[in-house]
A and B are shown apart, each in its own frame.
Chain A
Amino acid sequence: MSITNTQSSRGPSLRRAPRLFTHSIRGWLPIAPFIGFVAVFLLMPAVVVFQRALGRVDGPKAPMVEAITGQYRKSFIFSMQLSAITAILGVIIGTMVAGSIVRLGHRRGIRNAFTGYSAVAANLGGIPLAFAFLAALGMQGLITKLLKTTGVDLIGMGFKVSDFWGIVVVYLYFQIPLMTLIMLPALDGLKPTWREAAANLGAGDRQYWRFVALPLLLPSLIAGFLLLFANAFSAYATAYALSSGSSKLVPVQIRFFLQGNTITGKENLGYALAAWMIIIMTVSMTGFIMLRRRAERWRR
């Protein structure tokens, strides 16, 4: 009887009305400016890029097809290789750094200092970064000269900041801090009680990592990889400043068509390259969102 009493003692249905309002237009009003901003600065330009990429065909091939054939296919492969390698290295090193920070976590100062530094370094890119590395590792770089005095000749070994591995080193500068920032909350979520429980059940170190920790961290690791990949794939100013003379990266090649002094009349190809980049980025970001959602399930 008491159960039916509580149910019927829930006043008139008017009290439920406020919940209905949150699904109405009023709920969306506060973020209307943000939606407008995204529409004007993100969606409209993307629409224009696709319009021009699929627009009139002046040559033997449609721009969208030409953009992934021949030398442009090589550029996309090179860009994706560079992005994948910096992403993998960033994931491994960034996770290790995050792991160390979590272990030293009882000292508040260290963690705050590292988080602050990572937040800045993850966003430092472009021309200042490129010139900083030129000053450090270039032909006349400080570190190059220092290493030469200890007998390691970087230039003799064929290392150049503008080559593949040089660009990898430069990109890692902002990839590692970004991964650290992503992994810190994930590693925090690894409760120490789970480790104790595993030890109680007889699991060794390796088994703990293989059967407990890694599956828990895997969604975050994959999501971090995809974010780092997209980050490296779209890096433009750094790439341009480092290797303008012989660049094989797609963002710089788009510049040749749209902003260059030499090649004219092929803007559609530039837009097609941009359109393919948007497609690749969208696919990777969608993957990021899906895996992120899956990662959050573990925390409930």
Chain B
Amino acid sequence: MKTNTSRVRVLRGFAVVAAAGLLISACGSSDSSSDTSGPDTSAAAADTSCPDAALTDAANAEAQVNLIALPDNWANYKGILQSFRDKYPGIANPVANPDASSADELTAVETLKGQPDMPDALDVSPAISQEVDTKGLWEPYKPCSWDEIPDVMKDADGKWVAAYYGIMAIGTNTTIVKEAPDSFAALKDPKYKGLVSLNGDPREAGAAFAAVMAASIANGGSFDDILPGIKYFAELKKLGNLAGTDVTEATVISGETPVWLDWTYNYPGLAPKLTENGITWAIRVPTDGVYGGFYAQGAVVGSPHPNAAKLWINHIVSDEGALGYLEGGAIPARFAALVAAGKVSTEMMANLPAPELIASITFPTPAQIKAAKEILAAQWGPLVADQ
């Protein structure tokens, strides 16, 4: 049987063209959201309520705010996103990539520039917020109740605001480890051999970096001197107490990482899962090293929904947002004002560290953080990781 070579060739050509066509159509985006930016907020002369009606109307016209990297159980973002939807039913607030790091957020802003799914508002670590500032990507906006936010938790020009902060604390799975350590010195005890973990690598994760800073304060260092903290962890590793595995919900429940260092606002999120598995836990703020840290939030320049972004920033700083953060165990920026106005109930205070501790927190300046990062990047590898 003679094969018809020319027909085979034509069919082959069609197959190639069809495959190419399928590829191209699959890659094409089918996003057809309209991204008209509404009228910018005019001077709110007639409307003294805050946020004013013009902003709310413009935001409702945009009908969406693109958020990124807000996990449900991080400082109760699940509740805060829901309260935003309840207050402004016309505005959707999808969260892209909840487990992204702050650096991923910056990358998303740069690569998605001009596209309809570009993030409108960010929540980043102080280190990355400086980077965003250097690149000129913050859209300055002073939310309502700006004056009630302490100076150290906001940018003077309104580029970013820190809506919440937490304290570095030691969490213990008391079902497996009976005695919860309550200081950095206690972590060196031989009974914690192989049981202590950081929440990631300090060269990469903000929470681990803060743990090193806290350890530094506990061992004679300061905001300007992170080296004692690095040496402390080097010693912990030499003693064999420092485990190498990353802390996740699964490792805490399985008991792989029974003693770990993390922000106070990350523990309430774990609570339901831990109780479900019959695990008791204890959270102790180290007595010898109290370190508070905040995350910076702000609107992004040139985003597709600028007014909705501003409404979101308003929301997280407002009473509803602040109470949402409190439920998650984070301390809102306007904590002092809220307590004075009697809006904080005693059960919410239970989730937080003691008031004296909160009052004693100071934050490092951006310059101090930058210097500390550089020392960490140079010294953590040789002193800790390589040993």
Mark A residues whose CB is within 8 Å of B.
26, 29-30, 32-33, 70-71, 74-75, 78, 131, 134-135, 138-140, 155, 158, 160-163, 240-248, 252, 255-256, 258-266
Contact = CB atoms under 8 A, between A and B. Distances in A.
B155 interface: no
Given A139-B195, A245-B242, 10 more contacts: A29-B13, A30-B12, A134-B254, A246-B385, A256-B201, A260-B103, A262-B204, A263-B203, A264-B128, A266-B377
Given A161-B245, A262-B376, A246 B384 contact: yes
B243 A139 contact: yes
Nearest to A262: B209
Nearest to A244: B246
Contact of B209 (A26, A135, A261): A261
Contacts of A245: 197-198, 200-201, 208, 242-246
Interface of B: 9, 12-13, 16, 19-20, 23, 101-104, 107, 124-125, 127-128, 130-131, 134, 176, 193-195, 197-198, 200-206, 208-209, 237, 240, 242-246, 250-251, 254-258, 373, 376-378, 381-382, 384-386
B200 A33 contact: no
B256 A139 contact: yes
Contacts of A33: 16, 19-20, 23
A74 B381 CA distance: 9
Contacts of A161: 244-245
B104 to A, nearest CB: 6
Nearest to A135: B254
B243 A264 contact: no
A266 B377 CA distance: 10
A139 B386 contact: no
Contacts of B243: 139, 160, 162, 245
Nearest to A265: B131
B165 to A, nearest CB: 16
A160 B250 CA distance: 18
B27 to A, nearest CB: 10
Nearest to B132: A264
Contact of A259 (B124, B204, B206): B204
B244 A162 contact: yes
Nearest to B378: A71
A123 B200 CA distance: 26
Contact of A256 (B104, B204, B206, B244): B204
B244 A260 contact: no
Nearest to A141: B256
A162 B257 CA distance: 12
Given A245-B244, A245-B246, A262 B256 contact: no
12 contacts: A71-B378, A139-B258, A245-B244, A246-B201, A252-B201, A260-B203, A260-B205, A262-B202, A262-B205, A263-B203, A263-B373, A265-B131
B28 to A, nearest CB: 15
A263 B203 CA distance: 6
Q: Which 4 A-B pairs have the closest CB atoms?
A: A162-B244, A260-B204, A71-B381, A244-B246
